[in-house]
Amino acid sequence: MATLPHHLGRSLAEALRYVAAWKGRTVVVKFGGSVLDSPSLGTLPQDLVLLQQAGVRPVLVHGGGPEITRLLERLGKTTRFVNGLRVTDEETMEVVEMVLAGRVNKHLVTLIHRAGGRAVGLSGKDAALLRARKHAPGVDLGLVGEVAHVEPKVVEVLLDAGYLPVVASLGFGPDGVSFNLNADSAAAALAVALRADKLIVLTDVEGIYRETPQGRELLSELTPEAARTLITEGVVSRGMIPKVEACLAALEGGVRSAHIIGGEIPHGLLVELFTDTGIGTMIRKREPEA
């Protein structure tokens, strides 16, 4: 049955109200996974371009772990992970840098251009955007790093000029050494430095779920305290932990809200920004009572 005119009108009014509210605001979007497989991209390139055309300032931060693993396997090199982080020796780092800053980054830039946008590909090494240090003591992970400082000027210049920055999660270490960064953490650090209003993490699930007697329940909104409790209780586990921790780090740094949504939901990015209900899971601090 066709959508009734008054329902369509209500939806359009709601969307336009949000478009006006978000004009000029910065949104950092993190996308990981196998970005060279078109089904996993969904409508992301088109959504980013539409956001930009609506006056929003989107920044895309990406990883590319599966593509790195595939290339290492073709080279006959075994991949080892510790707590979800890839152990990265010098030879592996060469592959990581080639895949992230090269093939994956430029593929995303190309897709955004095809969708009618103007994108510029960067890595965290460009203009020392993401200064990094070796990962915290514990198990030696080689050239795995964590963000020590963000110098966002190059991204701000591109945004002001109307370009869409696409940032590969590589870090610039002492003496120019490259570091492999967790893309979730990199996106959170960049969102804080840019004083972004939102961090949106696109993943292969629709959000954070909790088991109930009635079945799995999608948690549409959480406070930071509730999110930490879910980690402690084991409800949030494995690969979801760094995503939730990145959201919490962004909130602690001043970002107003952080979202975990399904990357394959058609136009999910637009639904999250421009509707009352949104999709996925939003984490934000509880507003003080009047």
The count of structural domains within the chain is 1
Query: Which residues, at least 6 apart from 189, have a Cβ–Cβ distance to it below 8 Å?
Result: 130, 147, 150, 249, 253
Report the pLDDT value the prediction gives residue 175, as an integer from 0 to 100. 86
Residue 288 lies in a domain: no
Query: Which residues, at least 6 apart from 80, have a Cβ–Cβ distance to it below 8 Å?
Result: 86, 87
Residue 6 lies in a domain: no
- The catalytic residue among 32, 64, 65, 124 is 65
Gap between the Cα atoms of 209 and 63, Å rounded: 24
- The catalytic residue among 124, 134, 171, 184 is 184
**Active site annotation includes 140:** no
Please state, in angstroms and as integers, the Cα–Cα distance from residue 172 to each residue in 127, 150, 164, 180, 265, following that order. 9, 10, 21, 9, 34
Buried b (16+ CB within 10 A) or exposed e, 220-237: eebebeebeebeeeeebe
Residue 236 lies in a domain: yes
Residue 259 lies in a domain: yes
Report the pLDDT value the prediction gives residue 36, as an integer from 0 to 100. 59
Asked whether the beta carbons of 63 and 239 are under 8 A apart, the reply is no
Gap between the Cα atoms of 128 and 143, Å rounded: 17
Residue 45 lies in a domain: yes
Please state, in angstroms and as integers, the Cα–Cα distance from residue 121 to each residue in 54, 113, 158, 166, following that order. 21, 11, 10, 5
CATH number assigned to the domain comprising residue 56: 3.40.1160.10
**Active site annotation includes 243:** yes
Gap between the Cα atoms of 255 and 278, Å rounded: 18
> Tokens standing for 32?
């990981």
Asked whether the beta carbons of 24 and 51 are under 8 A apart, the reply is no
Residue 285, amino acid: K
Report the pLDDT value the prediction gives residue 85, as an integer from 0 to 100. 82
Residue 290 lies in a domain: no
Residue 156 lies in a domain: yes
Residue 147 lies in a domain: yes
Domain of 139, in residue numbers: 24-283
Strands 130-134 and 81-82: unpaired
The total of other beta-carbon atoms located within 10 Å of residue 241's CB is 16
Please list the ranges in the chain whose pLDDT falls under 50: 1, 289-290
Closest residue by Cα to residue 64 from 107, 100, 90, 30: 100
Asked whether the beta carbons of 89 and 57 are under 8 A apart, the reply is no
Report the pLDDT value the prediction gives residue 289, as an integer from 0 to 100. 47
Report the pLDDT value the prediction gives residue 212, as an integer from 0 to 100. 82
Gap between the Cα atoms of 87 and 65, Å rounded: 12
- The catalytic residue among 47, 124, 243, 268 is 243
**Active site annotation includes 23:** no
The H-or-E segment that residue 167 falls in is: strand 164-168
**Active site annotation includes 285:** no
Report the pLDDT value the prediction gives residue 290, as an integer from 0 to 100. 44
- The catalytic residue among 32, 33, 64, 173 is 33
**Active site annotation includes 77:** no
Count, in order, helices (H) and strands (E) of the chain: 11, 16
pLDDT digits (tens, 9 = 90+) for 274-289: 877 778 999 998 765 4
Report the pLDDT value the prediction gives residue 1, as an integer from 0 to 100. 44
Stated pTM of the model: 0.91
